[in-house]
Structure 1
């Protein structure tokens, strides 16, 4: 699944081609994604300009004069900039045809993505319960300490909870906990303030580095230009179960937490 750095990479890739462009036509070939695409969407956006594209968590927000189109890439979705006459493939479900002679195409083989609408002056229900952005001032060590206080939940599951902080998916939760030296299984309420401060900084650093490098290469994700949109990072733990720890050389342990693969070093993470 594209995580926050991949979604931000997509936003940066498509924004120069889409912002301030008029939508000439909306073509919906498959309206049944994770949720049905609103039937009136074409009526709301055709003839209008995309003022800007923002990101909230893993949602891309296309700002129009009347409201906001929300796009989520789901498990395997991608957005690409193509010529307006580019023939669609089997899994190409939605096109935004632009006045530049290009189009923005949503491809989603598993159809777990979404294209939704939010009127001005309202907030979509999918956004109302989201926690702060991890790279914002709203996500601080003090805030994380408050969220962890008295909690028996494993710290990895807590930082992956979007109501606590958005965008810390499985890859980056593994990496941040390794950087902070914290066992992902440890109860959130049993971690000291000093260690939670290290974890806060690790989350920010890991995600910022991933965005700077363009995200982590995933098997079925392509960037806005139709090419791999980011470079392979050197991951310290994720996907490396049984391999030696980069710090101590001990084999990394791989377990399941809430059915998600979790890799860590028993020596370096306590």
Structure 2
């Protein structure tokens, strides 16, 4: 599932390509992927201009010039592609937004969606229960210490809890814990202040490095996209079961913590 770095990467790359462009056509291939009737969606979106693309947690928000906001959550298996009809992947398309001969394809939205809201306030209500953004100022180590001090669950289950922090999922929770050299099964209330500060620094480093590297999902956003997916080869533990740890050489372990698959080094994570 796309996490914060993947969606931030999408936001940055799409902002370079579709801002101030008019949506010339709308095609809905799966009505369950939207939240209003197709005719209403098309009426409010077609011939409108995208003024801004923003991100909140694992969501993207497309801001149109009529104040309409399209709220995207790709969920498990969802991705996007921007290009011509000839360049598009040979996959079922759930939604297509056209910009002349270029199109933005939404693919794999079996669980994901592109919901329409009449204004930003209406869209924001859908995101009210999300925690703070972990890499956006003014979020600080002091705030993190305060939040962490109120938690009793494991690092794994807490870091992926979107009410605690917004945007971290299975991949980056494991990468953060490995970078901090702390076992993901440790309880937050068992950490020393030094360990909690180290976890915050690791979170900042991993998420920003993943954004700069294009995230871990390898499907390119557009033809010639050499950035998207670049972090996959940099993952230290995620999806690396049985491979040697880059720090100590021990085998990476795959386990489950509260039914969530988890990767870690049992030797150098304490």
TM-score, L = length of structure 2: 0.88
Equivalent position SS for 2:234 = coil
Q: Structure 1: which 5+ runs fail to align?
A: none
Equivalent position SS for 2:32 = coil
Q: Which residue of 1 aligns with 2:249?
A: 249
Task: Provide closer, same or farther for how the CA distance between residues 247 and 13 of structure 1 changes in structure 2, counting only shifts above 3 A.
Answer: same
Q: Is the 8 A contact 1:28 1:93 kept in 2?
A: yes
Q: Which residue of 2 aligns with 1:223?
A: 221
Q: Is the 8 A contact 1:60 1:70 kept in 2?
A: yes
Shift of 1:89: 5.5
Q: Structure 2: which 5+ runs fail to align?
A: none
Instruction: Select between 5-14 and 202-211 the one with higher mean Cα deviation.
Output: 5-14
1:115 and 1:130 mapped to 2: Cα distance?
18
Equivalent position SS for 1:116 = strand
Q: Which residue of 1 aligns with 2:117?
A: 118
Shift of 1:230: 2.7
Structure 1 residues 1-40: aligned runs within 5 Å: 1-33=1-33, 36-39=35-38, 40=40
Structure 1 residues 231-242: aligned runs within 5 Å: 231=230, 232-242=232-242
Shift of 1:159: 1.1
Q: Which residue of 1 aligns with 2:68?
A: 67
Shift of 1:146: 1.9
1:222 and 1:76 mapped to 2: Cα distance?
14
Q: Is the 8 A contact 1:80 1:223 kept in 2?
A: yes
1:226 and 1:113 mapped to 2: Cα distance?
26
1:143 and 1:56 mapped to 2: Cα distance?
19
Give CA deviations for 1:82-139 in whole Å, capped at 9, x if unaligned: 22687895511211122x432211112x511101122225143431111122211243
Q: Is the 8 A contact 1:244 1:251 kept in 2?
A: yes
Q: Which residue of 2 aligns with 1:174?
A: 174
2:37 and 2:73 mapped to 1: Cα distance?
14
Instruction: Select between 3-12 and 126-135 the one with higher mean Cα deviation.
Output: 3-12
Shift of 1:11: 2.1
1:91 and 1:159 mapped to 2: Cα distance?
33
Equivalent position SS for 2:262 = strand
2:30 and 2:140 mapped to 1: Cα distance?
41
Task: Provide closer, same or farther for how the CA distance between residues 16 and 190 of structure 1 changes in structure 2, counting only shifts above 3 A.
Answer: same
1:150 and 1:32 mapped to 2: Cα distance?
38
Q: Is the 8 A contact 2:82 2:221 kept in 1?
A: no
Structure 1 residues 124-163: aligned runs within 5 Å: 124=123, 125-163=125-163
Instruction: Select between 246-255 and 177-186 the one with higher mean Cα deviation.
Output: 246-255
1:7 and 1:226 mapped to 2: Cα distance?
19
Shift of 1:151: 2.7
Give CA deviations for 1:192-215 in whole Å, capped at 9, x if unaligned: 222111111111111111111111
> How many residues were matched structurally?
265
